[in-house]
Amino acid sequence: MYEDFAERLAGVMWPDFDRTPARSGDRPAITGLSTLVIDGNFPWTIVTVETDAGVTGIGECYPSPGVHEIITDYFGPVLEGENPLDVERLYNLMRASFSGRGSQAGVATIAISGIELALWDVAGKLTDQPVYQLLGGKTREEVPIYADCHAGEGMVEAALGDQPAEAYEADAYARAARAAVDEGFDIVKFDLDVPSGREIDTLSRHLDGPEIEHKRGLVEAVTDEVGDDAEVAVDLHWNFGVEAAEKLCRALEPYDLAWIEDPLPPENVDALATLNRAVSQPILTGENRYGRHGFRELLEAEAVEFVAPDIPKTGGIAETKKIAEMAEVYYVTLAPHNVGSPVATMAGVHVGATVPNFLALEYHARDVPWWDDLVDGEPLIEDGRIAVPDRPGLGIELDWDVVEAHRVD
Q: How far apart are CA 377 and CA 383, in angstroms?
A: 17
Segment among 165-169, 395-399, 400-404 with least mean pLDDT:
165-169
Q: What is the DSSP string of 45-83?
A: EEEEEEETTS-EEEEEEPS-TTHHHIIIIIIHHHHTT--
Q: How far apart are CA 314 and CA 301, in angstroms?
A: 20
Contact between residue 319 and residue 92 where contact means Cβ atoms under 8 Å apart = no
Q: What is the pLDDT of residue 25?
A: 55
Residue 3 pLDDT > 80: no
Q: What is the pLDDT of residue 108?
A: 94
Q: What is the pLDDT of residue 150?
A: 85
pLDDT one-digit tens code per residue, 158-181 = 444 555 566 788 999 999 999 999
Q: How far apart are CA 97 and CA 9, in angstroms?
A: 5
Domains assigned to the chain = 2-128 (3.30.390.10), 134-398 (3.20.20.120)
pLDDT one-digit tens code per residue, 310-357 = 999 999 999 999 999 999 999 999 999 999 999 999 999 999 999 999
pLDDT one-digit tens code per residue, 218-261 = 999 999 999 999 999 999 999 999 999 999 999 999 999 999 99
Q: Is the dihedral of CA 396, 397, 402, 405 positive or negative?
A: positive
Q: How far apart are CA 221 and CA 253, in angstroms?
A: 14
Q: How far apart are CA 408 and CA 400, in angstroms?
A: 13
How many residues would you count in the chain? 409
Q: How far apart are CA 177 and CA 190, in angstroms?
A: 9
Q: How far apart are CA 260 and CA 258, in angstroms?
A: 7
Segment among 19-23, 209-213, 379-383 with least mean pLDDT:
19-23
List of long-range contacts for 203-212, beta carbons under 8 Å, 24+ apart = 205/239, 205/240, 205/241, 205/244, 206/240, 206/241, 206/243, 206/244, 207/240, 207/244, 207/247, 207/248, 212/247, 212/248, 212/251
**C-alpha count within 13 angstroms, C-beta hemisphere, residue 330:** 20
Q: What is the pLDDT of residue 154?
A: 45
Contact between residue 239 and residue 196 where contact means Cβ atoms under 8 Å apart = no
Provide the 8-state DSSP code for 10. I
pLDDT one-digit tens code per residue, 50-108 = 999 999 999 999 999 999 999 999 999 999 999 999 999 999 999 998 887 766 889 99
